[in-house]
Chains A and B, each alone.
Chain A
Amino acid sequence: MFPSTMLLATDPLLSEPIGQVDLLLMSAKVLTAFAFLLVSVMLLIWFERKLISHMHQRIGPTIAGPWGILQTLADGIKLFFKEDLIPSNSDRFVFKLAPYLSLVPAFLIFTIIPFGGDFNHTSTQTDPAALGTVTWRDHATYLQIADPHVGILLFLAMSSIAVYGIMLAGWASGSKYPLLGSVRASAQMISYEAALGLSVASVVLMTGSISTHDMVAAQAGDGFAGILPNWNVLATGLVPFFVFAIAGTAELNRPPFDLVEAEQELVGGFHTEYSSIRFALFFLAEFMNTITMSAIIVTLFFGGPAGPVLIDSIIGSDIGWAWGVLWFFAKLFVFLFCFVWVRATLPRFRYDQLMNMGWKLLTPTALLWFLFLSAINIGDSQGWHRALVLAVSLPIMLLAVVLIKQAAINSSRTQEQEHTQQPLDNSP
């Protein structure tokens, strides 16, 4: 076997000559994830409607199925049989392409999520690459569709592709409101990608790897003082998590960042002209993105499937990995709940507030914190005293904050003056 495969921490399944069993296992994983995403989107839409209703003192869907749980299915069937309208002013090919550009990245991001497995170092394996494996008929594999070398970068790459879906949908519709919506969307998503990427960088710095599997493995051990878990949310000092969560919400175009489809201003935003199954695809992609974003948050900051194994075997067979699945979905559910909760609580941002927050608050914060973490990291590896590192870096950070603040104040003042003085002189 190549030594590289161990170092790269690729799925052990793929490091041997690939046989039929391996193919079967891979197909099973892919199908499971695919089915899980589709079903969970259905449930999530119902969950969101029901939860928001209760927060609003309403009842929500009740008719289809027990507690209205089949409501989404009914809606989906209805959408499927509606007439598929393509505006005459549209760019037909791009118009049809756009929904898939939204949907496919949403699926692909999920491939890098480890959603199960026993990551505890106390198990028989100590090699980090062997953590979290599940063995079936001597074929060890991760509970994760793929562990590509680029790891978390795949997430960033896919979220940049997802912008195209929205942007092209708006443009191809050949109509004003969708175009406005899509221009807003692309500006918003590009702006927040900076903050998103920088907070991911903090996690990468702490892990020393960009593989999602390695990230989870690094978060598995005993944490601080033996009580708190060794999760990145604490190890990176909370700030990257909050930046990521806010930027992630903006990246999803979910409330309070849903300016893309602000009904009062833009009718339906980028998907105004879409109907029938194509509209359903956008809807699907949006909720699927919510699920994958929660899963990414869990993986990056909350240890993924890492958690205690309470009973490690039933009737002689090892079920340690199943606890991982349980912990993963428990954590995932918490974040899905939070997304709905935020939607029910916060009013929508104004566009300038959105941009100010992205560029003047989140991005500098994430960058400063990243530099701070690097300083500490270098200090530790060089054996400098921690207090000395803090004593130097904190005042510098403070200075940077003051300067950025000053620049922001100045710029808003000049902006005001520009607006008041605009009509003075229009001659060239």
Chain B
Amino acid sequence: MMLPMMMVVWRLTPTDGSRLMVQIVFVVAAVMAVVGALGVIGSRNPVHAALFLLQTLFGVALLFLLQEAHFLAAVQFIVYAGAIAILFLFVIMLLGVDKTEDLEVEPIAHQRFLAPVLGVALASMLFSVFLVSSDILGGSPQFDSERTLDSGITDIERLGRVLFSDHAFAVEITAALLTIAVVGAVALTRSNKSKVKMTSDE
């Protein structure tokens, strides 16, 4: 799914000759992201896979920067690279699965044959869809004035306004979502109730 997305970003990136730098950065970022994504699938060592994931995240953050989505780029670093990928590594290290996996066993029947076939089928479908539609993607649809990049409103401000007006309900309810996820995770990781009879008297 990486490649079609790259195509779209390429289309939306200003391509007039004066912005050669933008194109160079784009190519670097795109190569970073795609190579990283391939590396995640290809590497046999889980820690290396996590590092390749990190590389992809950096590449995508760069693409965000090219689109002048500065805040998203920063959040990509802080949340994905700084928290989520770290947790992956943390779990890999704590569980001690830092050895190459046993690739002889095939947990689901015919998996090894089906995976590439279906993968290639999906990829070619996505490719054809984006090739068919890419002519029209160059001329972007009508955006309202606040959404254009040089409207004088920073991306953070725009994001904040949207989040706390149209999506205010979703934002607020996310608080409940996160809280309950924490409660559930803690309850699941705690040792079992039968072993711990809790008393609150005295």
Q: Which of B28-36, B82-90, B102-110 contacts A (4 or more CB under 8 A)?
A: B82-90
Interface: B127 (CB within 8 A) = no
Interface: B130 (CB within 8 A) = no
Mostly, the A contact residues are: helix
Q: Is the CB–CB distance between B200 and A410 below 8 Å?
A: yes
Residues of A within 8 A of B70 (CB): 148-150
Q: Is the CB–CB distance between B74 and A167 below 8 Å?
A: no
Residues of B within 8 A of A167 (CB): 86, 89-90, 93
Minimum CB distance partner of A420 in chain B: B196
Interface: B115 (CB within 8 A) = no
Mostly, the B contact residues are: helix
> Measured between alpha carbons, how far is A149 from B45 in the docked complex, in Å?
37
The digit string for A177-190, where 1 denotes a CB below 8 A from any CB of B, is: 00100110011001
Cβ distance B78 to chain A, nearest Cβ, rounded Å: 5
Interface: B189 (CB within 8 A) = no
Q: Is the CB–CB distance between A193 and B82 below 8 Å?
A: yes
Counting chain A CB atoms within 10 Å of each CB, which of B48, B70, B82 scores highest?
B82
Total contacts A to B, CB within 8 angstroms?
Answer: 101
Residues of A within 8 A of B152 (CB): 2-4, 7
Q: Is the CB–CB distance between A91 and B47 below 8 Å?
A: yes
Q: Is the CB–CB distance between B74 and A425 below 8 Å?
A: no
Number of interface residues of B (CB under 8 A): 37
The digit string for B36-66, where 1 denotes a CB below 8 A from any CB of A, is: 0000000001011001001000000000000
> Measured between alpha carbons, how far is A239 from B174 in the docked complex, in Å?
27
The digit string for A399-428, where 1 denotes a CB below 8 A from any CB of B, is: 000000000001001100110011011000
Interface: A94 (CB within 8 A) = yes
Interface: B191 (CB within 8 A) = yes
> Measured between alpha carbons, how far is A424 from B196 in the docked complex, in Å?
10
Shortest 4 CB-CB contacts between residues of A and residues of B: A160-B82, A157-B77, A153-B74, A150-B74
Known contacts A7-B154, A160-B81, A421-B197; 5 additional CB pairs below 8 A are A164-B54, A167-B90, A183-B93, A186-B90, A413-B200
Spell out A's residues near B (CB within 8 Å): 2-4, 7-8, 91, 94, 148-150, 153-154, 156-157, 159-161, 163-164, 167-168, 171, 179, 182-183, 186-187, 190, 193, 197, 210, 410, 413-414, 417-418, 421-422, 424-425
